[in-house]
A and B are shown apart, each in its own frame.
Chain A
C-alpha cells in the first residue's frame, strides 16, 4: 500500500475516532479530546497531501452497489499533485482551527453536535481534493457543505442574525451545488464518463456550457463577486475557529475547482474563458478590498478581504490561461505558481487573522473596531500574531503575501504585449487592479491593527481585555510562524507548487530564495533581511548610546492644540479612519449619511450635540439580490392562497391532478 493510499484510509478512521471523542467523553474534557482528535485528522491530511504533492500515487476505490438499474462507477479517491496542495491547505488550517477550538469553543460550539459537525466538515474538505471522479467530488462537496452549515448555526439561540446568515449560506451553497451538478452532468455526457481522467469531448458548445456552469458554481463557493454575498454574513456569525476554517480552507475548494477545470478537465478552452475569469477575478479583488477598507466590523472586514484574495487568485489563473493561449508558456508558468502561492499564503495569514479576531472577541466581547483600542498591552501574543498576519495580508516584506504578490507582478510585467493586442490591454489593466488592491489592503490592515491594538481603549470591554488561553495562543503562533516561514523560504515552496501545475523553470537560489529565470528576476528574502540587518546595526548602535545617555521621560499630556483633551473618544475610530476613502469612492460605495446638529437653547450658534450616522450597504447585494428575494417572497405569498386549509380544496387538487395524469397518459 502506498503512503497516499494509507493516508486516504487513515483519514476516515481518524474521523470516526474524532466523532467518538466528541460524543463519548464528559462535557469537561470533550473539547480537549475532540479537538486533539480533529487536529490529528487535519495532520493526517497534511501528511497525505504532502506525499501526493511530492509525486506519490495512491488510490482508494469504494465500490457502489445500490438496488437500481443504473451502471454506477465506483467512487475513486486518488489525489494528484494539485489535489495534494489543497489537501495540505485544508488539513493544516483544519488542524490549527481544531487546536484553537479547544480553548475557544464554548456553549453550542463545544457540544457533541458542534464537534461532530466540525469533524465531518474537516473530513469533507480533505476529501474534496482527493476525489478523482465527479460523483465522489460532489459527495465530498456536500459533506463539507452540510458540516459547515451545522457549525454556522451554533449560536442561533443567542443571536437572531445567525439564522439569517445560515439561510443565506445554505441558499448560496446549494446554488453552487446545483450549478456544479449541472456542469459535471454536461461534462460527463460529453466525455462519456464521470472520471476526471476521461478526456472531455470536443463539442465547443457543450464544453463552454460546462465551463460557465462550473466556474459560476465554484465561484459561488469561493466568494467571487457577484456571488460573494454569503461571505460577509456567514464569517462574522460563525464561531471564530469555524470562520478560520471556512475562510482559509473551504473557500479555497472553490479555487481548487476552478484550477481543476482549467488545468485538468478542460485545458484547451477558447480565449474568452480567460477573459471571463479575469473580469470575475479583478472585480472581486477590487470590490472585496474596497468593502473591507470601509467596514468597521473586524470579522466582516476579514470576510471581504477573503473575497479580495480569492479575486487575486482567480486573476492569476486567468492571466496564466491568457499567456498560455498567447504561446508564452514560460511566463504563464510563473502565473500558475503565483496563483498557488496566493492560495497557500492566504491560508496561513487568514487563519491567523480569524483566530486573532476570535481572541479579541473572546477577550473583549467586541467585534466592532470602533469600540476597541489599546489591546496590545492586555493581549501581547494576540497582538503580535495579528501584526504578523496583517503584514502578510498587506503583502509587505518579509511575509508569504509579499512573495505571492511579487510573483504575480513578475508574471504580469513579462507577458509580451507586442505580439497580441488583448494581452497588451489586459496586462496593464491587471497590474493597475493588483496595485490598487495592494494599496487599499495596506490601508485596511493598518486600520484593523492600529485601531484595535494601538492607542487607548474606546470601550469598557476593550479596557478590561484579557489574553487568550494556551491552546488558542499556540494555534495562533503556529499560524503566524507559517506566514513568516513561507515568506522566508519561497524557493523550495514555489518549486514544489510549480510541480503541482506542471510549471517549469521555477528554481531555488541563494538562501532559499525564489528564482524565475524566465522573468530574469529573483527574490531572496533572507538576503534582503541580512542587508537590512547590516544597515540597521549602525542605527542600533547610535540609538543604544543615545538611550544610555538620556533615558525616556513620561509626561502627562498629549498635544491638544493647547487644550486638555484626554478623552479616548477624541481618538480616530475605524469609521473616521476610512472616511477619506469613502469620500473618494463615493460613487462605488454609495454611503447614506445622516447628520443631526443639536443647538443649545440660548443660541442657535452654539452647537450642543452632533449625531452622525453612516450606513454602507453592499451595492451588489442591494442591486442584484434584493429584487430577486423580494420577487420570490411575493410569489410565496401568492402561492399561499392556494393552500387555505380546506380539506375540500385539497381533495379537488388531488382529483384535478389525477385527471391531468390520466389525460397525459391516454393522449
Chain B
C-alpha cells in the first residue's frame, strides 16, 4: 500500500516536471523578450517546438555513428530519473532509492557525459569544441556541488535531499542561517553552469564559436533534437525546483495523500515559474563571460560553499 502511494508521488513528480518544463522555458523566454522590448513567441512556443521536432525525421551526416540516436534517449531518461528522485512535489521517498544527493549528482553526470559523447560522435570541429568546453566546466563544477551538498547535510546528518527539505519545513529559521545561505548561493551558481545559462553559456547564441551546449547538438535533427531539448530543459526544472524547495520549503508534500500532492504540485509550479522569471530577468542584465573567466566564477562559488562548511563547524 505504502509502495503504491510512493509510486504515486514519484509519478506525480515526473508528470509535473514533463508538463511544467516547456512552460518554464516559455515563461523565461517571454520574460526576456518583453524586457528587451520584443513581443516574444508566447509561453507555449517551446512546447510546440518539441512536439514539432519529435514528429520530424532525424538526419545522420556521413561520418557520425550510432550514438547519435542513443545519447538523446540517455539524456532524457537520466533527466527524468533526476526529476523522480529530487523532492519537487513531496518529501516521501522510496526506501530502497532514497534521494541521496550524491546519487542525484551522478545521475545528472550521466546526462552530462551523454551530451559530451554526442558532441564527439558527430565527427566535426564544432561538436568536439562544445564537448571539450562542456566537460571542462562540468569537471570544475564538481567540487562546488559536493562541498555545498556537504554543507547542507551537516545540520541534518544525512545526504538525503528529502530529509534536508523536511528539516527546513520543521525549522524555517534554518533557511536563513549563514550556512544555508552561503550553500544556496553556491548552488545557484552551479545550477547556472550545469544548465548552460548566462553568464556561463548563452542558450540563445547563434555564433558557433561561442557555443557550448548548442555546439554539441549542432548535428542533431528531428526527434533526436527534440529529445535533447526536452532532456536539457528537464535538468533545468529539476535543479531550479531543488533550489527553490531548499530556499522556500513551504507547500512541499510531507505525506503521500492526494490533497498534499495537489498542494505540492501547485506550490512547486508557482515557485519554479517565479524562480525562472527571476533568472530570465537577471539574464537580461548579464553578458556571457569569456570561457577562461568561468573557472574564476566557479572558484568563487567554491569558496562560498567551503565557507558554508567551515561556518557550520566553527560558528554554529
Q: Mark A residues whose CB is within 8 Å of B.
A: 293, 373-374, 376-377, 394-397, 402, 406, 409-410, 412-414, 417-418, 424-425, 428, 431-432, 434-436, 438-440, 442-443, 446-447, 449-451, 454-456, 509-511, 513, 519-524, 527-528, 531-532, 535-536, 539-540, 542-543, 546-547, 549-561, 565-566, 568, 570-572, 576-581, 583-584
User: Are the CB atoms of B54 and A546 closer together than 8 Å?
Assistant: yes
A447 and B65 alpha carbons, distance in the complex (Å):
16
- The 0/1 profile, CB within 8 Å of A marked 1, for residues 37-76 of chain B is 0000000000000000011111111111111010001001
Quick one: given A520-B157, A559-B219, are A568 and B62 in contact (CB under 8 Å)?
no
Stretch from B95-103, B164-172, B254-262 at the A interface: B95-103
Known: A396-B106, A431-B146, A558-B219. 17 other contacts (CB 8 A): A410-B102, A413-B159, A435-B146, A436-B140, A454-B67, A454-B121, A455-B64, A521-B159, A524-B97, A536-B77, A546-B55, A549-B55, A550-B58, A552-B69, A553-B58, A566-B63, A570-B125
* B233 sits at the interface (CB 8 A): no
Contacts of A547 in B (CB 8 A): 223
User: Are the CB atoms of A555 and B62 closer together than 8 Å?
Assistant: yes
Could you jot down 30 A-B contacts, CB within 8 Å?
A: A293-B139, A376-B65, A376-B66, A397-B107, A413-B154, A431-B146, A432-B143, A438-B146, A439-B140, A442-B138, A442-B142, A450-B120, A451-B120, A454-B65, A454-B117, A455-B64, A456-B123, A510-B96, A531-B81, A535-B81, A543-B73, A550-B222, A558-B122, A559-B61, A559-B126, A559-B218, A560-B125, A561-B208, A578-B132, A583-B292
User: Are the CB atoms of A432 and B302 closer together than 8 Å?
Assistant: yes
* B135 sits at the interface (CB 8 A): yes
A386 and B268 alpha carbons, distance in the complex (Å):
41
Contact of B157 among A414, A522, A551 (CB under 8 A): A414
* B280 sits at the interface (CB 8 A): no
Query: Which residue on A lies nearest to B110, using beta carbons?
Result: A396
A555 and B68 alpha carbons, distance in the complex (Å):
13
User: Are the CB atoms of B123 and A455 closer together than 8 Å?
Assistant: yes
Quick one: given A521-B160, A553-B57, are A568 and B96 in contact (CB under 8 Å)?
no
User: Are the CB atoms of A555 and B59 closer together than 8 Å?
Assistant: yes
A652 and B157 alpha carbons, distance in the complex (Å):
78
Contacts of A579 in B (CB 8 A): 132
A451 and B102 alpha carbons, distance in the complex (Å):
28
* B109 sits at the interface (CB 8 A): yes
A294 and B126 alpha carbons, distance in the complex (Å):
20
* B210 sits at the interface (CB 8 A): no
Contacts of B63 in A (CB 8 A): 455-456, 558, 566, 568
A559 and B120 alpha carbons, distance in the complex (Å):
14
Quick one: given A510-B96, A558-B123, are A442 and B160 in contact (CB under 8 Å)?
no
A449 and B125 alpha carbons, distance in the complex (Å):
17
User: Are the CB atoms of B94 and A447 closer together than 8 Å?
Assistant: no
List the 3 shortest-distance A-B pairs measured between CB atoms, nearest first.
A572-B128, A439-B142, A439-B139
User: Are the CB atoms of A535 and B136 closer together than 8 Å?
Assistant: no
Chain B interface size band reads 35 or more
A122 and B117 alpha carbons, distance in the complex (Å):
37
User: Are the CB atoms of A580 and B292 closer together than 8 Å?
Assistant: yes
Contacts of A555 in B (CB 8 A): 59-62
User: Are the CB atoms of A395 and B58 closer together than 8 Å?
Assistant: no
Contacts of B33 in A (CB 8 A): none
User: Are the CB atoms of B116 and A450 closer together than 8 Å?
Assistant: yes
Q: Which residues of B, 293-316, contact A by the 8 Å Cβ criterion?
A: 295, 302, 306, 309-310, 313-314
Quick one: given A535-B81, A552-B60, A554-B60, are A571 and B123 in contact (CB under 8 Å)?
yes
User: Are the CB atoms of A424 and B131 closer together than 8 Å?
Assistant: no
Query: Which residue on B lies nearest to A532, using beta carbons?
Result: B81
* B158 sits at the interface (CB 8 A): yes
A418 and B60 alpha carbons, distance in the complex (Å):
57
Contact of B292 among A377, A450, A510, A584 (CB under 8 A): A584
Contacts of A561 in B (CB 8 A): 208
A431 and B314 alpha carbons, distance in the complex (Å):
17
A551 and B314 alpha carbons, distance in the complex (Å):
61
Quick one: given A397-B103, A431-B150, A440-B139, are A521 and B158 in contact (CB under 8 Å)?
yes
Contacts of B56 in A (CB 8 A): 550
* B129 sits at the interface (CB 8 A): yes
User: Are the CB atoms of A568 and B310 closer together than 8 Å?
Assistant: no
User: Are the CB atoms of B96 and A509 closer together than 8 Å?
Assistant: yes
Query: Which residue on A lies nearest to B82, using beta carbons?
Result: A535
User: Are the CB atoms of B145 and A435 closer together than 8 Å?
Assistant: yes
User: Are the CB atoms of B138 and A439 closer together than 8 Å?
Assistant: yes
- The 0/1 profile, CB within 8 Å of A marked 1, for residues 76-114 of chain B is 111011001100000000111110101100110110110
User: Are the CB atoms of B292 and A556 closer together than 8 Å?
Assistant: no
A229 and B87 alpha carbons, distance in the complex (Å):
47
Contacts of A556 in B (CB 8 A): 61-62
Contact of B128 among A410, A438, A571, A581 (CB under 8 A): A571
A603 and B173 alpha carbons, distance in the complex (Å):
70
Contact of B139 among A442, A524, A528 (CB under 8 A): A442
Contacts of A397 in B (CB 8 A): 103, 106-107, 110
A440 and B136 alpha carbons, distance in the complex (Å):
8
Contacts of A523 in B (CB 8 A): 100, 103
Query: Which residue on A lies nearest to B68, using beta carbons?
Result: A552
Quick one: given A439-B138, A560-B124, A584-B140, are A410 and B159 in contact (CB under 8 Å)?
yes
Instruction: Give the most central of B127, B132, B133: most A CB within 10 Å.
Output: B132
A571 and B128 alpha carbons, distance in the complex (Å):
7
User: Are the CB atoms of B103 and A531 closer together than 8 Å?
Assistant: no
